[in-house]
Amino acid sequence: MKVFVPKDSAAVSVGADEVAELLARAGAQVVRTGSRGMLWLEPLVEVETDAGRVGYGPVAPEDVDGLVAAGMLDGTAPGLGLVEDLPWMRAQQRLTFVRVGVVDPADPADHERHGGLDGLRAALGMDPADVVTAVTDSGLRGRGGAGFPTGVKWKTVADAESELKFVCCNADEGDSGTFADRMLMEGDPFTLLTGMTIAAYAVGASEGYVYVRSEYPDAVAALRTAIVAARGQGWLGESVLGSGFAFDVHVRVGAGAYICGEETSMLESLEGKRGTVRPKPPIPALEGLFGHPTVVNNVLSLASVPTILADGAEAYAALGVGRSRGTQVFQLGGNIARGGVLETAFGISLGELVETFGGGTLSGRPVRAVQVGGPLGAYLPVEQFDLPMDYEAFAASGAMVGHGGIVVFDDTVDMSSMARFAMEFCAEESCGRCTPCRIGAVRGVETIDRIRAGEDREANLVLLEDLCELMTDGSLCAMGGLTPLPVRSAITHFGEDFR
């Protein structure tokens, strides 16, 4: 009578806590896990049976009594069947997310039982330089947005001479439409800690920080619990797994600034300062936190490392297309029938993600636009649904994969309002360092307002284009530099909304 109920904050946001409590009261042994990522089925209750875990969902609190009476607790009540056999699950290649939704994120023994330490053990048995080589050979590229090869970054830090080096995990995840970092931290935090430890071993770092946005209190709590447990197990501390290698991790909480996801701004914030962007060079790999060589990687980049070390670089590199190797964790959000997180090899088309996995819109109306890669990503029309998810293919189409978030809009969307919002967001979140971004975005909002009001449309569209060019060319970082991407793509593909 063991049942699994997600404690993931998205599941809790639609009643998972109440369901868990009612099931416990009905006599079930309730284990709280992360979410499998099928968020439209949350709260998704899974019941352990001899054949595997049988799913029920979405289960509202008021459904619990009836389901229990019908035999849910031994898996005989009619439901979704075996969770692993659901089409959404079977169509995936879950490597980074393999334990998310399966294990109890607070239980180190559960993590180890599910193979969670294999990668770390393998790494500690290798020469640090060989760990760097393995990550390079896997083809892993940064999942935070820019897609920089992770192994190359690590090599720079490894080769730098310094008494003190750091590993900083970027868990600021400010992009709208992205929540995979959160789900991994809440659902399998040990994998992130293990990935950071492998990075630290590879480059010779002794101290790690996870910078988590304050909007994620549950992820912060899950990480803190995991860190205490990992220290207790000897997975962190003076001698990681008895190897003599010392490494510890600390959690730092952001304070509501999107720009602190930019790596140098994050470092400033970690140092206790305003989150203004630093000019590069120097690159953080050489002069990062407090001036010391620092690995800065996204949550998903680091959490992909254990599986690479456990199963080998070749296995990871065998997946994907072109220079986009391995798997990407995609997030489907917005107006989508089946929203959530799924992991599959690069190369899947945008349309397959939105239609096959996502089932089209939630409203049942036609899809009109999707934004890929967060607030700085392009808006794409359905005509581009055959685009493969691949860094280079997206760049060639004037778009970006970014952190893998896909936000769907139906045909009621007014794209000029979305373009306006892109500028408003930039104005709101600019760190203020450069004028094209700080002032340009404010002018951008005003100009789009005039276009929307029908004032001198043609002249104002030209002005807007000039502003976009100025921001693209004259901004220090991608905040100001890429805000024109959603604006211009909205005008290009949905020009009728600006007439």
Partner 1 sequence: MSIEAPPGPVDEVVSRAVEAHRGSRGALLPILHAVQEELGHVPPSVVPVLAGRLNLSTAEVHGVVTFYRDFRTTPPGRVTVRVCRAEACRAVGGEALMEHAAASLGVTRGGTTPDGAVTLDEVFCLGNCALGPAVQVGDRLHGRVTPARLDALIGQGR
Ligand X SMILES: Cc1cc2nc3c(=O)[nH]c(=O)nc-3n(C[C@H](O)[C@H](O)[C@H](O)COP(=O)(O)O)c2cc1C
Binding region for partner 1 (CB under 8 A) out of 63-71, 128-136, 254-262, 381-389: 254-262
Nearer to ligand SF4, 310 or 431 (CB): 431
Interaction between residue 399 and partner 1 (CB under 8 A): no
Contact 183, 343 (CB under 8 A): no
Please identify which residue in 4, 88, 179, 316 interacts with partner 1, judged by CB under 8 A.
179
Binding to ligand X (CB under 6 A) within 469-498 occurs at 477-479
320-321 and 294-298 beta bridge pairing = unpaired
Residue labelled with tokens 């439409």: 177
154 scored as a contact of partner 1 (CB under 8 A): no
- Taking CB within 5 to 8 Å according to partner kind, which of ligand X, partner 1, ligand SF4, none is near residue 138? none
- Measured from the CB atom, the residue of 254 and 339 that comes closer to ligand SF4 is 254
**174 φ, ψ (degrees, to nearest 5):** -85, -15
Q: Count CB-CB contacts under 10 A for residue 60.
A: 12
* Shortest separation between residue 415's beta carbon and ligand SF4, angstroms: 24
CB of 376 to ligand X, least distance (A): 7
Whole-number Cα distances in Å, 434 to 101, 266, 476, 479, 483: 43, 17, 7, 11, 14
- DSSP state letters, 441-467: HHHHHHHHHHHHTTSSHHHHHHHHHHH
418 belongs to the binding site for partner 1 (CB under 8 A): yes
CB atoms inside a 10 Å sphere around CB 263? 27
Q: Are 488 and 470 in contact, with CB atoms under 8 Å apart?
A: no
Using CB under 8 A as the binding rule, whether residue 339 contacts partner 1 is answered as yes
Residue 254: closest CA among 217, 284, 280, 289: 217
Length in residues, the chain = 499
CB of 166 to ligand SF4, least distance (A): 22
The backbone region for 337, taken as left when phi is positive above 0, alpha when psi lies in -120 to 50, beta otherwise, is: alpha
Q: Which is nearer to partner 1, 275 or 440 (CB)?
A: 275
| Closest CB to ligand SF4 among residues 227, 376 | 376
Q: Which is nearer to partner 1, 14 or 31 (CB)?
A: 14
Closest contact distance (angstroms) between CB of 400 and ligand X is: 11
Q: Give the interface with partner 1 as residue ranges (CB under 8 A).
A: 9-10, 12-14, 39-40, 42, 173-179, 182, 214-218, 250, 252-258, 269-275, 290, 331-336, 339-340, 362-363, 371, 375, 405, 407-410, 413, 418, 421, 425, 428-429
